[in-house]
A and B are shown apart, each in its own frame.
Chain A
Amino acid sequence: MALITRLLLCVLLLWPVLAQAAVDVREFDDPVTEQRYRDLTATLRCPKCQNQAIGDSDSPIAGDMRERVYRQLQAGRSDKEILDFMVNRFGDYVLYNPRLEGRTLLLWGLPAGLALLGALVVVLMVRARRRTSARDLSAEERARLDALIKRERTE
């Protein structure tokens, strides 16, 4: 989106240009591993690029990282081991899915907290409004009532 602005930044500022897709031809033993490869390369961020997963970038470092992911998958490593391997070298920055820890508590917790708060607000508001609707006339009804009374009086 506003894609152009992003592209423009890249060009004007001589930052690595928003790269187009890279195409690697790789062989996988089974579709499960292939899917894991796709998921991993989609959740690891290329450290050099603007904002792209390593699976979407043709920058050299993204290629190196894909190669490592592939090799480690072939060696039978688990997803967590592969992610740890990358974090050990490039830091938490490469995780598109930030881990739940002290500094990300707010990130994960706030939406959940808001959802609870929202539910509470709905319950409280509707309960309050229900009482009024039972007890009071609506503004419209009151207006009609007033008009009727007024007519009574003038007649």
Chain B
Amino acid sequence: MQTLMIPEIGHYAMIIALLMAAVQAVMPLAGAATRRPLWMAYARPMATGQFLFLAIAYACLTASYLLDDFSVANVANNSNSMLPWYYKASAVWGNHEGSVLLWSLILAAWTFAVSHFSRELPRDMLARVIGVMGLVSVGFLTFVLITSNPFERLLPNVPQDGADLNPLLQDFGLIVHPPMLYMGYVGFSVVFAFAIAALLEGRLDAAWTRWARPWTNIAWAFLTVGIALGSWWAYYELGWGGWWFWDPVENASLLPWLAGTALIHSLAVTEKRGTFKSWTVLLAIFTFSLSLMGTFLVRSGVLTSVHAFANDPARGFFVLMLLGITVGLSLLLFALRAPRVSQRVGFGWLSRDALLLINNILLVIMTVTVLLGTVYPLLLDALNLGKISVGPPYFNALFVPLTVVLCLFMGLGPLARWKDTPARDLFRRSWLAGLAALVLAALAPLLYRGEWNLKVSLGVLVALWIVLPMARDLWAKSRHSAGRLAGLKRLSLAYWGMILGHLGIAVTIIGVTVVSNYAIERNVRLGVGDSVELAGYTFTMTELANRRGPNYLADTAELEVRRGDSQRRFTMTPEKRLYIARGMPMTQVALRPGLFRDLYVAMGENLGDGSWAMRLQYKPFVRWLWLGALLMATGGVLAVADRRYRRRVTARDPERAVVAEPREATT
């Protein structure tokens, strides 16, 4: 249905939002610089207004999709009248223009949230934070309006129907993965704005870190979930059962995650101990910069396909300019304003401070390594040194050892105290856990498969070395006169957040280790009545059939699966679909998920003579990958719920808030 006004309303709403963002950027920043409360007071209403108008713009685009308004180019290119409504609504972000609008909307939402949940912030701090976020928003909204307007009309030649959404995208993954990922990417703009505000203010005490911490944790949790969802989606959608390919686009999301992980730890040190102040500011800038860089790498196509750029030279260049201005100015400001003299707060070798320092250095090395591997082909090409590829073997070779080292220190982290821990104490708290981890790790592959495997032992060792000392610590801390339960209840949510976060890492490591070493794959030729055995399961093909879906034709196979000699059996039905609108074949895998193993069947080609090529896979512990990520994200959110972040801090005396911190043996 062609609507008269909806796209235009959306377009105007976007322009109004841009103007409001400009006011939101200029007035509060100028007001804070010149100490004019009236100017600073623009921050909140403008943030609200910008959010409101972007929400209107976004609603208009969604309405155009739902109403099948194919006079809108964006809708015509990415939707189809036969598409179910939920895919129409999510097709909005299944393309460049719509996804940048979503990006901007999410940025406005974060700004709105900051302006409304940070009422205890000093007025000029809030003004600066909102102002900086307004600046970022101006950049992105200009980008949308100039190069990527989703409301462009195809008049007067309106197509009868839309070109349809790519079948690979017609999936639950599209509905959940991008919004989560963007919430994470964009969420880091908050801590970035706080850091810049602190630099502008020239008062680099630890106060800003306290306010920025909850926001950072939440953004990080979103990003964690977003990455996990993407990995899970690729796993079942692409048909070969991989869950991480070290593709530039994946790396683009991993980079801010790694830097963000370093940041949430460094924020903890700065808040608690007042150290690493410049470093934390720098990390905050880096984390958001890497989010922007990811956007650039993905949108400009420099690493995947230059044709994105050739089609619209303005786009890649614009994002690069945006990146250059934002990051360049921030780093310049950092170089000029970062504190000259570092504050001398001492700590010893076995202190939590030193361990977190090591954590940060390792995470930064990992970030640099991933960044280097991702852009290295581009560097060589730019220097005319030929085309090379950097892929999984490179990343695994460097990333795995770094992770192992990181985890070795990670095991000690929760046991160590701030400032210094007597070596005897640390040893007393960790030796038993260490010994148990060693023994169990050595036995694990023998018990699981009856054959020793060094890699598996190492992975299990690392995971147990994270979990066991923590368990011991939990046991010790929960001692209470009124019983264990009371003791557990007494522990702060921040502590539980840390426990869950670290536990999540361990769970993911177990998943990675087991699935990488024990996955089994067989490509076989199967006709009706044929059976094949895989990892103790017998697969028998019972039926081959055709069926017609709403917008595709499918060959389906039915396999009966039985484990060993047991009588229990279940069926799996993989499909090979042909999507009519695009003439595109698609493999729809059959999955039998389980906590300890997945069975995975993908249909290949018809080999004639009534048989099909089939790929059967046994994927042990693969769910643990994503389960671990969920635990990590839960930990991040839990830490935010901690009591101390909800306590009111008087606006006039942020300094006191830090000093008045009750002593806690946590985080």
Contacts and interface: CB of A to CB of B under 8 A. Distances in A.
B59 interface: no
Given A122-B357, A138-B346, A139-B274, A5 B298 contact: yes
A124 B508 CA distance: 33
B181 A1 contact: yes
Nearest to A92: B388
For the residues of A in contact with B, the DSSP-based class is helix
Interface in B85-127: 93-96, 99
Contacts of B603: 23
A15 B305 contact: yes
Contacts of A23: 523, 602-605, 613-615
B168 A130 contact: no
B181 A2 contact: yes
A12 B78 CA distance: 10
Interface in B378-428: 380, 385-394, 397-398, 402, 419-420
A4 B304 CA distance: 13
A43 to B, nearest CB: 5
Contact of B388 (A9, A98, A138): A98
A13 B299 CA distance: 13
Interface string B146-184: 000000000000000000001011000110011001000
Contact of B346 (A11, A26, A130): A130
A95 B389 contact: yes
Q: Which of B234, B242, B397, B585 has the most CB of A within 10 A?
A: B242
A151 B213 CA distance: 35
Contacts of A106: 372, 376
Contact of A9 (B304, B343, B362, B380): B304
Contact of B249 (A1, A17, A43): A1
A75 B380 CA distance: 36
Interface residues of A, number: 65
A109 B653 CA distance: 49
Interface in B318-357: 343-349, 353-354, 357
20 contacts: A2-B253, A3-B249, A7-B166, A8-B169, A21-B239, A23-B602, A23-B603, A26-B523, A45-B391, A56-B240, A95-B388, A96-B394, A97-B393, A104-B388, A106-B372, A111-B369, A126-B349, A129-B346, A133-B348, A134-B346
A38 B357 CA distance: 40
A13 B349 CA distance: 55
B261 to A, nearest CB: 16
B389 A98 contact: yes
Nearest to B310: A13
Contact of B307 (A15, A43, A115): A15
Interface residues of B, number: 95
A3 B233 contact: yes
Contact of B345 (A1, A96, A138): A138
A91 to B, nearest CB: 7
Interface string B299-311: 1010011011001
A69 interface: no
Contact of A21 (B233, B402, B587): B587
Nearest to B389: A45
B368 interface: yes
Contacts of B353: 129
Contacts of A131: 346
Contacts, number: 226
A75 B523 CA distance: 21
Nearest to B373: A107
B348 A107 contact: no
Nearest to B95: A8
Contacts of B168: 7, 18
Contacts of B389: 45, 92-96, 98
Given A96-B390, A134-B346, A138-B345, A50 B361 contact: no
Contact of A56 (B169, B242, B587): B242
A133 B253 CA distance: 39
A140 interface: yes
Given A6-B247, A43-B391, A118-B362, A1 B380 contact: no
A122 B358 contact: yes
A151 B637 CA distance: 43
Given A4-B169, A111-B365, A42 B392 contact: yes
A25 B532 CA distance: 13
A9 B168 CA distance: 13
B602 A21 contact: yes
A88 interface: no
B227 interface: yes
A20 interface: yes
Given A96-B391, A110-B368, 10 more contacts: A3-B230, A4-B177, A22-B604, A23-B604, A26-B523, A51-B304, A97-B397, A110-B369, A115-B402, A139-B345
A4 B191 CA distance: 27
A21 B238 contact: yes
B250 interface: yes
Contacts of B497: none
A44 B347 CA distance: 49
Nearest to A112: B398
